[in-house]
Amino acid sequence: MPRLFASLALLLAFALPSSAADWKRIRIGVEGAYPPFSSLAANGTLQGFDIDIARALCAELNAECQLVQSPFDGMIPALQAKKFDAIVASMSITDERRKAVDFTVRYYNTPNRFVAKKGAGLAVTPAGLKGKKIGVQRATIHDRYLTELYKGSQIVRYSKQDEAFLDLASGRIEATLVDQVAASHGFLKTGAGKDFEFVGPPLEDPKYFGYGSGIAVRKSDTDLRANLDGAIAAIRANGTYKRIQDKYFDFDIYGKAPSP
């Protein structure tokens, strides 16, 4: 018995207890490997659209923001394990995910597209990509879409989208399915992506791609969700959202609500 208390005391010494009730301190899970939404600058600080939005929402709620970096495919388990209280990582709101967590209203909505080498002439249908290697980030909406509809293709899963782009550039995979903006800013407009292009139409079927990107919270934290909903509306109304948007994009990223 004394040993149990001793080890618990040890754990408590490492722990940072926070009081859930008044949300003065919100721990936010972010990825840090998904430019332009979230990435690491050369000096090690987090930067990107997701990061700025997260900070703006905390400012709006008069709360202290603690950004916790986590790999994307472990974010929902980590949220449920209370490693953080909210996920701001370009996570799409899908019915599938809603079984495990709750989402706020969306804070942006962009379509998804395939990226492949210029002039490769790939038909991005299940038949056209049969037997070919398609790279995708594990546990994303793109992963689910390909897993269910492209059963004839070889799906290669990566921890980070960056790794998929690296392999696409070197020719290990022939295509990748990814968010359109992440692809254009994170790859196509960079030196490594100059021989690549979008192939096929933008994909937006809500059944797989959801209803835009939202902030995920635990199902029990209804008050936090309500607070964040209010904060999102507030920064859209008072111009903060537009200011952040213009810093990264020259188009409207909030988009239209997808028709269900």
Partner 1 sequence: MLHGYAGNLLEGTGLTLAVAGASLAIACVLGLAAAGAKLSKSRLARGVGTAYTTVIRGVPDLVLMLLVFYGGQMAVNEIAARLGYDGFLDIDPFVAGVATIGFIFGAYLAETFRGAILAIPPGQREAGIAYGMGRLQVLLRITLPQMVRLALPGFTNNWLVLVKSTALVSVIGLNDMMQRAGQAAGATREPFTFYLAAGAIYLAITTVSLVALKSLEKRYSLGVRRAA
Partner 2 sequence: MNLEAIWEALPSFLEGLQVTAILLLASLAIGLVAAVPLALARRSPRPWLSRPVWLFTYVIRGTPMLVQLFLIYYGLAQFEAVRESVAWPWLSSAWFCAIAAFALNTCAYTTEILAGSIEATPAGEVEAARALGMGTATVMRRILLPSALRRAIPAYSNEAIMMLQGTSLASIVTLLDLTGAAREMNSRTYLPFEAFITAAVFYLALTFALVALFHRAERRWLAHQR
**For the chain, where are the E strands, in sequence order?**
25-30, 33-34, 38-40, 46-47, 64-69, 86-92, 102-103, 112-117, 133-137, 154-158, 175-179, 196-203, 213-217
Contact mark string toward partner 1, 6..25, x via CB under 8 A = --x--xx-xxxxxxx-----
* Cα–Cα distance list, 179 to 24, 37, 84, 217 (Å): 33, 11, 25, 22
Q: Which is nearer to partner 2, 95 or 246 (CB)?
A: 95
Alpha carbon dihedral 135, 140, 144, 146, in 10-degree steps, equals -20
Alpha carbon dihedral 99, 103, 107, 112, in 10-degree steps, equals -10
Q: Does 147 bind partner 1 (CB under 8 A)?
A: no
Q: Does 68 bind partner 2 (CB under 8 A)?
A: no
Least Å distance between CB 70 and partner 1? Answer: 5
Residue 260 and residue 246: Cα distance in Å, rounded?
28
Q: Does 149 bind partner 2 (CB under 8 A)?
A: no
Tell me the chain's radius of gyration from C-alpha atoms. Answer: 20
Contact 105, 230 (CB under 8 A): no
Q: Which is nearer to partner 1, 157 or 160 (CB)?
A: 160
Least Å distance between CB 191 and partner 2? Answer: 12
Q: Does 44 bind partner 2 (CB under 8 A)?
A: no
Q: Does 160 bind partner 2 (CB under 8 A)?
A: no
Selected binder of partner 1 within 160, 198, 233, 254 (CB under 8 A): 160
**CB under 5 to 8 A by kind: which of partner 2, partner 1, none does 190 bind?**
partner 1
Q: Does 73 bind partner 2 (CB under 8 A)?
A: yes
Least Å distance between CB 36 and partner 1? Answer: 12
Q: Does 48 bind partner 1 (CB under 8 A)?
A: no
Residue 136 and residue 161: Cα distance in Å, rounded?
7
Selected binder of partner 2 within 47, 66, 159, 180 (CB under 8 A): 159
**CB under 5 to 8 A by kind: which of partner 2, partner 1, none does 9 bind?**
none
